[in-house]
Structures are given as structure tokens and as C-alpha cells.
Structure 1
Amino acid sequence: MKRLFYSSAIYTALGLLSGLFYREMSRANDFEGYSQLNVTHTHMLVLGTIMFLVFLLIEKNFSLTRNHKLFNWFFITYHVGLLLTVAMQMTNGIMTLKGIEASPAIAGMSGLGHIFLSVAFILFYVLLNKSYEFKKH
């Protein structure tokens, strides 16, 4: 349970710092348009902070961590997916602010991050189902 709590707290800090980074980078580059930096802090706060708080509440009721192996797969896959997605958003956003055209590889890496997140959600539902079935008996 502590890993879920600490993950939420860390994503809160990262989300707030990325919002500050976006504001200062936009100001320093006299940029007023849209870039991926606009939504980086939102992704971290919602998919990081809020989702890990939701996972924590579900853990309290269903003891997801009881199935250590599957939980670890979910936990690691989710972090990799979220961090990869956000890193590519930041890279794309910084390039936009600097007037550099982003490579299609950045979109591909971001897509890979989204795939990791999708797999993590599938693992989460499998884990939740197993925990629910265990609790029923």
C-alpha cells in the first residue's frame, strides 16, 4: 500500500513541477500557442496522482497486493507507460516551443507509452477480478 501512496505523492510533485516548467518555458520563449507541454501536468496529476489514489482505495477493499507477481507487473507497466508518455509529451512540447519540427519517432514512442498504459489497465482488471473472486470465497 505504501508504494501506491508514494507513487501518488511523487506524481503530485512531478505534475506541479511540470506545470511550473510549462509556464516558465512558455514565458521564456514568448510562446502563446498550443504545445504538448500544456497537458503534461494534467496527465501526471490525473493518471499519476488521482489514479494511484484510486488504486490505493481499491487496494484497501480488495488487497490487490496479495497477488504480488501480478501486482508488480501492473505497477511497473503502469509507471513505464505513464513516464514514457509524459516524457514524449515534454520532448514534443519543448521542440514546439523552440520551433523545431518533431520527429515521427516521438509520436511512436508516445504511442508505445499509451500501449504500456493499456496493458497496465488490462493487468489491473485481471488483478481486480482475481482479488474480487478471492474475497467472495
Structure 2
Amino acid sequence: MKRLLNTSLFYAVFGLAAGLFYREFTNVYNFTGWTPLSVLHTHALMLGMFTFLILLLFEKVFHITQHKKFKPFYMIYNIGLLSTLLMLTVRGVTTVLGTDLTSGANAAISGVAGLAHILLTVAIIQLFILLYTIIGNENNLVKSSQKE
């Protein structure tokens, strides 16, 4: 449970810092347009902090971290989310600075962001499989105890 709480706290601090960075960085450069930095903090807070707070509740009720399918989900989800946040940061900073990216650099940023989103998708599918497995087992235990 402590790992889930610590992970949630990490993303909360990251998200709050990202919001501050967005505000100050765009002010320093007098940037008024749209930048991916404007959604960086909400991605960190919602996909990071809130997701792991909700998983903390599932842990309390279902002990999901004890299941063998949890560790792969946890690792893939965090790699995907951290990569997504990194690419939002890179794309946002280059946007604010007005950096002219080569087509290769632009493609690399988009490619890594796409792979990160694929990892998040795979992890979310893994999470639902895990939850269905656990809840299915809970229902089987209830049915078998009612028969006795």
C-alpha cells in the first residue's frame, strides 16, 4: 500500500510543479499561445495521482498488489505515463522557445509519445483484466460459501 501512496504523491508533486513551471516559463518568454505544457499538470494529476489513489482503495479492499498481474501493470503504466509526461514537456518547451525542429526530431518526439500512449493503453487493459480476475474470484468465493 505504501508504494501506491508514494507513487501517487510523486505524481502529485510532479503535477503541481508542472503547473508552476508552465505558468512561470510561459511568462518569462511572454508566450501566449497554446503549448502542451498547459496540459502537463492535468495529465500528471489525473493519470498519476488520482489513478494511484483509486488503486490504493482497490488495494485496501481487494489486495490487488498481491496478484501476480499487478507488477507488470504497475511497471508498464509508470513507464508509459512518465514517457508521456516527458514528451509533453519536450514538445511544450520547444513550442514556447519557438525551436525549429528537424523533421527527424519532430518525428522522434511524436513516435515516443505514440509509444508511450500505447504502453498506457496496454497497462489499462492489464488493469481491467486484473480487476475482472479478482472480482470474478470474489464472486466465486461468495457463491461457493452460499452453497454450504
Give me the whole-angstrom Cα distance separating, in 1, the residues matched to 2:3 and 2:120: 18
Cα distance, 1:96 vs structure 2:
0.3
Cα distance, 1:55 vs structure 2:
1.0
- Aligned positions, number: 136
Matching residue's letter, 1:79: N
Give me the whole-angstrom Cα distance separating, in 2, the residues matched to 1:17 and 1:66: 32
**Contact 1:63-1:131 at 8 Å conserved across structures:** no
2:128 corresponds to which of 112, 125, 128 = 125
1:104 corresponds to which of 93, 107, 112 = 107
Cα distance, 1:70 vs structure 2:
1.3
Give me the whole-angstrom Cα distance separating, in 1, the residues matched to 2:117 and 2:69: 20
> Percent identity at matched positions?
42
Residues 58-73 of structure 1 mapped to structure 2, 5 A cutoff:
58-67=58-67, 69-73=68-72
Residues 1-137 of structure 1 mapped to structure 2, 5 A cutoff:
1-67=1-67, 69-102=68-101, 103-136=106-139, 137=141
Cα distance, 1:133 vs structure 2:
2.1
Give me the whole-angstrom Cα distance separating, in 1, the residues matched to 2:9 and 2:40: 17
SS of 2:99's partner is coil
* Cα RMSD, aligned residues only: 1.0
**Residue in 1 aligned with 2:144?**
none
Which runs of structure 1 show a deviation greater than 4 angstroms over 4 or more consecutive aligned residues? none
Single out whichever of 81-90 and 101-110 deviates more from structure 2: 101-110
Normalising by structure 2, we get a TM-score of 0.88
Normalising by structure 1, we get a TM-score of 0.95
Specify the structure having the higher radius of gyration (Cα).
2
Gap regions ≥5 residues in structure 1: none
SS of 2:69's partner is helix
SS of 1:17's partner is helix
Gap regions ≥5 residues in structure 2: 142-148
Give me the whole-angstrom Cα distance separating, in 1, the residues matched to 2:129 and 2:100: 40
